Amino acid sequence: MHELAVTQSILSIALENARKVDAKQITGINLLIGQMASLVDDSIQFYWDILSEGTIALGAKLNIKRIPTQMRCFDCGHIFSPSPDTFDCPACDSIRVQVIQGDEMRVDSIDVE
Amino acid sequence: MSTRIEVAEKILSANDKLADTVRQKFDTAGVFAINIMASPGAGKTTFIIKLLETLRGRLRMGVIEGDLASSIDADKAAAAGLPAVQINTGGECHLDAVMVDGALQRLSLEDLDLVIIENVGNLVCPINFKIGSHMNLLIASIPEGDDKPYKYPGAYRGVDALVISKIDLLPYVPFNMDYFRKGVEILNPGLVTFPLSAKTGEGMEICADWLVNKFKNWKANL
């Protein structure tokens, strides 16, 4: 739902980093986005096409790498991906678990010419 | 031939930085700021107004109201005697640091101890945008259902306190408190929770006392 604000931030980070190396064109943006980050790829692309117009980032390819949610069980140490309706540890049924990845929202790198 | 440039930057880093500045403004004024998040209709405004009544004479409270449109909430708060500022996000689904920074200029911080920032009713977006508050508080209301921690894990993970509101409705709606609390415990172990009803007043005193202590401890370490 908040992809407009997120896409604006992605664009300004990309333009800022491209400016530092005097790039003529940004050809790709490589994003790392966790499954729990509540962002929709198509929606980011939609806003990107509008926002990047008139900038050197126009036409850049958005490569979104999704990072799956992972949890670790405090009791048995098992690392697992949670099922949609429960977070219990599938190995020992413990509920003492911790989210260890899946909420990332990062610009990893950009490709420039 | 294209070249790859490492960036490794959080997408919302610019907002994060401004949120730090906003928080410093609160610190300088000695004002404790609480970001209240919940789904639409959870009872955020009713809770805030009841909290004002409960805290009267103990803490001087002001409020920043965030909504897509209208000034209904700020009008309600002002009618209850709260210094209130309305932010209309014009369609954005959350408050961000820029909006709160702007709202601060319309609030006399020197006359206040506590500012409640009522975020846009939404369990998804607000949690990603820091706004310079010292504490995030989530309100979950009984009629929303007991499965919300499982459906909106992000909202439950990123908060420092949880109000379970409208407990006067427990006899009338299906709500398995154990199932709800289990989800909360997994996502946010040891999270302090306040079951209460802003309508009947049940549980309000305990929550208000906790906030007063929180404020005093914060102020003592400032």
Q: Which two tokens stand for residue B127?
A: 């949690």
Residues in chain A with pLDDT values less than 70: 1
pLDDT > 90 in chain A, percent:
75
According to the model, what pLDDT value does residue A6 have?
94
According to the model, what pLDDT value does residue A1 have?
60
Which of helix, strand or coil describes residue B36? strand
Cβ–Cβ of A107/B8 closer than 8 Å? yes
Q: Is A18 on the interface with B (CB under 8 A)?
A: yes
Query: Which of A2, A107, A112 is closest, CB to CB, to B128?
Result: A2
Q: B127: domain CATH number?
A: 3.40.50.300
Chain A residues whose beta carbon lies within 8 Å of the beta carbon of residue B122: 1
Interface test with A, best of B1, B3, B4, B5 (most A CBs within 10 A): B5
According to the model, what pLDDT value does residue A99 have?
86
For B39-50, b where at least 16 C-beta lie within 10 A, e where not — what string? beebbbbbbbbb
Count of the separate structural domains present in chain B: 1
CB-based contact B168:B43 (threshold 8 Å): no
Does residue A14 form part of some domain?
A: yes
Which domain does B201 fall in, by range? 13-220
Q: Which two tokens stand for residue B97?
A: 């640091």
CA-nearest of B163, B170, B169 to B195 is B163
Does residue B137 form part of some domain?
A: yes
Q: A27: domain CATH number?
A: 3.30.2320.50
Does residue A78 form part of some domain?
A: no
Count of the separate structural domains present in chain A: 1
Q: Is A38 on the interface with B (CB under 8 A)?
A: yes
pLDDT, tens digit only, all 222 positions of chain B: 789 999 999 999 999 999 999 999 999 999 999 999 999 999 999 999 999 999 999 999 999 999 988 998 899 999 988 999 999 988 888 999 999 999 999 999 999 999 999 999 999 889 989 999 999 999 999 999 999 998 898 899 889 999 999 999 999 999 999 999 999 998 898 999 999 999 999 999 999 999 999 999 999 998
Query: Which of A5, A28, A95 is closest, CB to CB, to B92?
Result: A5
Residues 62-101 of A with CB under 8 A from B: 85-88, 95-99
Q: Greatest CA separation found in chain B?
A: 69
What's this model's pTM, rounded to 2 decimal places?
A: 0.89
* Residues comprising chain A, all counted: 113
Does residue B170 form part of some domain?
A: yes
According to the model, what pLDDT value does residue B90 have?
85
Which domain does A18 fall in, by range? 3-68+102-112
Q: Is A5 on the interface with B (CB under 8 A)?
A: yes
According to the model, what pLDDT value does residue B160 have?
97
Q: How many CA atoms lie within 13 A of B145 on its CB side?
A: 6
Q: Which two tokens stand for residue B122?
A: 């939404």
Does residue A21 form part of some domain?
A: yes
Query: Which of B8, B9, B124 is closest, CB to CB, to A38?
Result: B124
Does residue A12 form part of some domain?
A: yes
Does residue B171 form part of some domain?
A: yes
Does residue B19 form part of some domain?
A: yes
Q: Is A112 on the interface with B (CB under 8 A)?
A: yes
Cβ–Cβ of B153/A109 closer than 8 Å? no
Q: Is A22 on the interface with B (CB under 8 A)?
A: no
Q: Is B94 on the interface with A (CB under 8 A)?
A: yes
Q: Which two tokens stand for residue B139?
A: 């309100």
Q: Is A50 on the interface with B (CB under 8 A)?
A: no
CB-based contact A9:B14 (threshold 8 Å): yes
CA-nearest of B192, B187, B83, B196 to B127 is B187
Q: B13-29 and A3-20 are packed helices; what angle lies between their axes, rounded to 10 degrees?
A: 100
Residues 130-159 of B with CB under 8 A from A: 150, 153-154, 157
Query: Which of A10, A87, A113 is closest, CB to CB, to B2?
Result: A113
Cβ–Cβ of A111/B3 closer than 8 Å? yes
Residues 32-91 of B with CB under 8 A from A: none
Query: Which of B5, B11, B185 is closest, CB to CB, to A10?
Result: B11
* Residues comprising chain B, all counted: 222
For chain B, helix (H) and strand (E) counts, in that order, are: 8, 8
Residues B190, B211, B107, CA angle at the centre, nearest 5°? 130
Q: How far apart are CA A90 and CA B109, in angstroms?
A: 50
According to the model, what pLDDT value does residue B148 have?
95
